[in-house]
Structure 1
Amino acid sequence: MASGERPRPSSITDLPLDILVLVVPYLDVRSFLALCSSCKAFYQDSIRLDPVYWSYVTRSTFRVPNQPVVQHNGALWQKLYRRLQTQSRVFTWGAAGQGRLGHSIFIRNALGPGQMDLTNIPGIIADLQCGGWSTTILTSKGSLHTAGVLNGETELVTRQTGNSGPQRLRFPVRVPYSSWSISYEEPTISIRQFSAGRSHILGLSDSGRIWSWYSAEKPALHVKFLDVDLTEASSQQSSPANQPLFGRVKKVVAGWSRSSAYVYGIGIVVWDIVSRRPGENEADTVLVMQTAEMPRTGYQRPKGAAKESEEQRALGAEVGVVLNYIILEHFVVFVTDIGRVFCGKFGDHNQVPEVIELQALRNESDTPTDVQGSFRRFAVFKNREVITANQDYLEACWRVRHEVHANNADIPGLQKIPALQKGDVISVAFGDYHFLALHSNGRITSYGKELRHCGALGLSGRYLRGFNRVFGDRQLVPHAYTHGREVWFQREKFLWLEFLESGGTDPDEAAERWHWVESGPSVAGEVSEWIEQEARDWDRNLDIKDDDGLGAHFALSVSAAGWHSGALVLVNQELEDKGARYVWTDQSYPRLRLSDGREMPGTVPFHEWKYGRPEWRLDINVDEI
């Protein structure tokens, strides 16, 4: 600096990026956007689209669950924040018994998705989950609402069919709140995360309190343990940021027939489903006398100068910190921060004597590993792959655990469905016989079968969607597993499909082709793939301007259980209205040149493939899916 010159004033733009990203979480969205617009230095994508900020503000504002696979996509989180404020809708489909779909009026096509009646439910829908006979939603206000009944084996629907929308799950009368608006500000009952099991629901409040519902008609029970000390945040501080984590509940998971929670410093804790005893209608708390703690699940990495014992270091190197877990019918499965997957089999009183590593699922890279599943099936996300399996695989691994030089890496039973290996699958939801995948572009694809044509796959239609009849049930043909079959939410698509299935513009001319499609799964598989391609990019095909690129319908989450399914979908009503154009009324029933060289009969010109005829993987054993 030359003599006499004044030093240049320090600017916030001089701070390194790693310091700036520590500052921005303290800004609300309006302040953050104003900061980014103040100068070019702050308008760069690394700051303006910071994924840490946008995922945090979206999840904290709307209580949206984290999606580890897209955790680093700041642009997507920003778009979701903008659209969640006005566009979240809930769609359900499948078996409609017990009012579980929440439809006040059945939609025209009973096998396709229908919008749930959310009248008089305040707040924005943040999450949904399906139970055995119910569909439950969480609002941004922290309240839970259920359509159907929690236990279809013991409960009846007492509400009128015309008022079959979701009802709010209640708390005991002695819980301190007098109105909905006040209850939203009470951290002991504002639910931040929940889990729907087959016949019960667990909720975790902002303060860290566990609530359990065994009936939609009865208030929740506050769950406490005799042998496990749980800690809650004080009424002044619902966030654990400045409080010790030990004893705090991270998440709850409701399984097929048991309950569980992950407790910091203790690990996965499992207990039986709780309910009130006869004569205890006024009880607001239940003390669980017997719990089971899953071995080797309580490890936490030390912070700062904290030291570890040799035993702790060994546990951290061999197992690691539990990132996520699921409770299946007979097994617990969990993934850790060192890319390993473990399972343990439940015994008497939910006890798990030991856990074993599923060696074939070990992840040696630094990409996120996740596990999702329910009842008897699960999926592991590993290196942009989605690997599916069921309890038979776990049983086979469990049987050889004590053999000399035990190694379960070569045990068969793991599947890699081609349509799930594109690197864009965010989550997979399993029902009893079907499952659905949510993709990062907002699409949902379906797999498996529907018992008694219940509509759980949400595909509507018949052979033109790739169905094959199996003893009165509907099962997808092998062709459908190469690219998947997409769940549609546009009414226009269903009308178009209905028109084609009736023969198109000339049913007589199409009659022979129609019989070809219905005569065997091979032709149905190829024609259904052509239908899939034609329906893809529906909005773009109509030259509709889409400002944020998310389309008229963008699925945010998907769930399945039993014989039904549901999804949280962002609906851009303006785009949907513009897409309601009957531009297909002059189309004929598809006529293709098949992959085996045959030409479908007829007099109309052959239909071309929009994205080219795929190379199908037909070695998928659909009976094992």
Structure 2
Amino acid sequence: MPTNIVDVPPEILLENLFPVLPVADLLSLTVTSKYFLFLCSDETLWHRKLKADYNFDGSGTARRTGWKFIYRGLYRPKVFVWGEAENSRLGLRQYPGSRSAGVPFPVQLDIPGANIIKLIAGGMSFHALDTRGNMYVWGTLDGTMYSLHLDGYAAKGKPARNPLKLEMPDPIRSISCGRLHSCSLDIKGRIWNFVNWGRPFRLSSHLLSQPDSEPIQIECGWSFSSALLKNGEVLVWWPTVGALQEEVDTRFQSMDESGVGEAQARNGIIPCHTWTAAVDPVLLPSLPSLPDIAGIGEDFREHPPRLIEIGGMDSMIIGLTNYGHVLRFRGLDHEGAIGTSGWQYLPEFSETARICQLSEFSDGNFELPETIKITHVSAHFMHFSAFSTGSCSIVLQGEIDTDPDSKPKIIPELQNRDIISVEFGDYHNAALSANGKLYTWGSYSKGALGLGDPLTLPIGTPGGFANQAQLNGGRGRPPSVTVPTEVRFDHGRRKSKDRFCFSVTAAGWHTGALVIDLEPDENEEDDKIQFRSEQQQSQDPDSWSTPPIVPQIPARGWGMPFIHRIGFAGRGMHRGQSNRDGASGS
């Protein structure tokens, strides 16, 4: 029996004792000796403490280090949002007084009483998760629908002009958003679906009650939802079409007639009327035979590949196996469209030899490891990425029409940068590095790049106008940014401030980030941004506008629905329809 704590094996300390010690005791222990300073700085220990104390596990990123630093900063994380402001999607009470369209740089969003540790963008909304598992929403879940002022959040088109908390049965551990719907996974492993914010329903199926069928990831595509199970299988369902939509519509009509579940917000809370939908999702086919790209021989045959991560696009899923195979599954428009579809392997995104032969890498400008293993995938709408981690990390990009013979798109500025997260809006992109730097590129999209007001940026600066003639015009669209450019989080301050971004999200024409201060808040009043109300923002004659969509008022017992034209921005149409480039923000 050890008589001194120093004699206790380090494995026992790290696995059993340290995880249950108060943080103050751990910090006190670090000053007793170099041995305990080293031991109490263990990355796995602080990763576990983050999950236990803050409900934060870094899911959705490839982060492997820095957990102790993030733990220290999560007592007061900051939420920043920017981009398109229509549909109240930014949740701000006041908007910067810029003449440019949208909000072209990060602005802090205050959510009183909440320590936000996860931010997820929807087509016209944001969803957030705090350290206690509470779920917050703002914007409009379905901006193609119209709602009356007196409607509760049983109405799909009811905007949450500022963040509201959803009153759910149990704490939430993860959230995913599609264009006009979202879903969440609670601590009991139950999947909740939202086609409005007032009447979420739990998906009930025998496919979710089988051995090893525990959901480990939920992922919303453009118009579908999916779940990756512990056994590597994937379930898919469509909340807004087919049999499930019929079940939802029937239940909502019954609620309307009985006057339950109107979900009027009170004191910043939406009282959710939860129910259960007993509809079986579709079980996707198993993986095809895949090559041994890791070169491990017999172990590969004894332990065949299984999916460990998925990403949702428009009618397509990107999958990643434990060995680094990247695959796609197309034809997810609706349940009847799957037919004989199956997983297709993408060797150009998976195999070391093929990746090294890409012209961007073969010229020797980048350091590549002997063996490249893709460790993460992400996807949204028309784009996806597959990337590895570390100082020699690589980022490969694909599109909706990528096939097994397609070569990845390579952006040189993202290579060897230890990128841990890649996010896509409709036409803008964001990448986060392990050192807390956020980079954006792509279309201006009403300010979604967050690089600054193009009317005040120097000519030729990324995010600004290309020449004096464009700047003098003042109402044209700034050119797209082709080189990933760093986003600042101190716009409007008289004194610059160093901040660390640990999470980013993007969708539609808007972006959000979670940020930690690296310097003390000596004077938070040191802010010279001039703000205006949401109404002033939407009525600004100098703001660019886009063609209105035609939202449909749901029947809700009135007989046939009718059409009412209103100036909401948003595409409001499916991929391929006529206003593809003319309307804003998913």
TM-score, normalising length: structure 1? 0.65
- After superposition, residues 173-252 of structure 1 pair within 5 angstroms as 189-216=170-197, 218-225=198-205, 227-230=206-209, 246-252=212-218
Cα RMSD, aligned residues only: 3.4
Cα shift at 1:316? 3.4
Unaligned residue ranges in structure 2 (runs of 5+): 152-157, 261-272, 290-297, 353-370, 529-580, 582-586
Cα shift at 1:492? 4.2
- After superposition, residues 369-384 of structure 1 pair within 5 angstroms as 369-382=375-388, 384=393
Q: Is 1:474 the counterpart of 2:462 in the alignment?
A: no
1:263 corresponding residue in structure 2: 229
Structure 1 counterpart of 2:194, one-letter code: W
Query: Aligned equivalents of 2:148 and 2:387: distance in 1?
Result: 38
Equivalent in 72, 77, 91 of residue 88 of structure 1: 77
1:40 corresponding residue in structure 2: 34
Q: Is 1:131 the counterpart of 2:118 in the alignment?
A: no
1:453-493 CA-to-partner distances (Å, cap 9, x unmatched) read: x1111112323532457994333354xx1xx3222221346
Q: Could you tell me whether the CA contact under 8 Å between 1:268 and 1:298 is conserved in 2? A: no
Structure 2 counterpart of 1:316, one-letter code: H
Structure 2 counterpart of 1:460, one-letter code: G
Query: Aligned equivalents of 1:578 and 1:142: distance in 2?
Result: 28
Query: Aligned equivalents of 2:518 and 2:2: distance in 1?
Result: 47
Structure 2 counterpart of 1:486, one-letter code: E
- After superposition, residues 114-513 of structure 1 pair within 5 angstroms as 114-119=107-112, 122-156=113-147, 158=149, 164-171=161-168, 189-216=170-197, 218-225=198-205, 227-230=206-209, 246-265=212-231, 267-273=233-239, 275-277=248-250, 278-281=252-255, 284-296=274-286, 314=301, 316-317=303-304, 320-347=305-332, 348-349=334-335, 351=338, 353-362=341-350, 365=371, 369-382=375-388, 384-393=393-402, 396-397=403-404, 408=405, 411-412=406-407, 414-451=408-445, 454-462=446-454, 463-466=459-462, 467-468=464-465, 472-478=476-482, 481=483, 484-492=484-492
Q: Could you tell me whether the CA contact under 8 Å between 2:308 and 2:320 is conserved in 1? A: yes
Cα shift at 1:158? 4.1
1:90-127 CA-to-partner distances (Å, cap 9, x unmatched) read: 111111011000010112343222122313xx331111
Range 556-565 or range 415-424, more displaced: 415-424
Cα shift at 1:263? 1.9
Structure 2 counterpart of 1:168, one-letter code: K
Structure 1 counterpart of 2:23, one-letter code: V
Cα shift at 1:15? 4.5
Structure 2 counterpart of 1:336, one-letter code: T
Structure 2 counterpart of 1:64, one-letter code: F
Query: Aligned equivalents of 2:221 and 2:232: distance in 1?
Result: 19
Query: Secondary structure of 1:66's match?
Result: coil
Query: Aligned equivalents of 1:108 and 1:441: distance in 2?
Result: 31
Query: Aligned equivalents of 1:71 and 1:107: distance in 2?
Result: 33
2:561 corresponding residue in structure 1: none
1:292-315 CA-to-partner distances (Å, cap 9, x unmatched) read: 22223699xxxxxxxxxxx99748
Q: Could you tell me whether the CA contact under 8 Å between 1:268 and 1:297 is conserved in 2? A: no
2:503 corresponding residue in structure 1: 557
Query: Aligned equivalents of 1:384 and 1:577: distance in 2?
Result: 38
Range 424-433 or range 350-359, more displaced: 350-359
1:182-226 CA-to-partner distances (Å, cap 9, x unmatched) read: xxxxxxx2101111111111111111111111113x23111112x
Query: Secondary structure of 2:189's match?
Result: coil
Unaligned residue ranges in structure 1 (runs of 5+): 1-7, 176-188, 232-244, 300-310, 398-407, 497-537, 540-550, 583-622
Aligned pair count reads: 450
Cα shift at 1:363? 5.1
1:330-364 CA-to-partner distances (Å, cap 9, x unmatched) read: 21111111111111112551637321211012155
The 3 A distance-change label for structure 1 pair 321 and 95 is same
Query: Aligned equivalents of 1:169 and 1:575: distance in 2?
Result: 31
Q: Could you tell me whether the CA contact under 8 Å between 2:74 and 2:115 is conserved in 1? A: yes
Query: Aligned equivalents of 1:168 and 1:69: distance in 2?
Result: 25
Query: Aligned equivalents of 2:133 and 2:194: distance in 1?
Result: 15
Structure 2 counterpart of 1:358, one-letter code: L
Query: Aligned equivalents of 1:21 and 1:298: distance in 2?
Result: 40
Cα shift at 1:574? 3.2
1:165-196 CA-to-partner distances (Å, cap 9, x unmatched) read: 1112244xxx5xxxxxxxxxxxxx21011111
Cα shift at 1:71? 4.2
Query: Aligned equivalents of 1:137 and 1:476: distance in 2?
Result: 29
Structure 2 counterpart of 1:476, one-letter code: S
Query: Aligned equivalents of 1:263 and 1:581: distance in 2?
Result: 47
1:539-567 CA-to-partner distances (Å, cap 9, x unmatched) read: 5xxxxxxxxxxx3x211211111111111
The 3 A distance-change label for structure 1 pair 263 and 199 is same
Structure 2 counterpart of 1:369, one-letter code: T
2:68 corresponding residue in structure 1: 78
The 3 A distance-change label for structure 1 pair 157 and 567 is farther
Query: Aligned equivalents of 1:433 and 1:441: distance in 2?
Result: 25
Identical aligned residues as a percent: 26
Query: Aligned equivalents of 1:149 and 1:581: distance in 2?
Result: 29
Cα shift at 1:16? 4.5
Structure 2 counterpart of 1:557, one-letter code: S
Q: Could you tell me whether the CA contact under 8 Å between 2:423 and 2:431 is conserved in 1? A: yes
Structure with larger RCO (C-alpha < 8 A, sep 6+): 2
Query: Aligned equivalents of 2:329 and 2:187: distance in 1?
Result: 30
Structure 1 counterpart of 2:53, one-letter code: T
Q: Could you tell me whether the CA contact under 8 Å between 2:183 and 2:191 is conserved in 1? A: yes
Query: Aligned equivalents of 1:427 and 1:438: distance in 2?
Result: 5
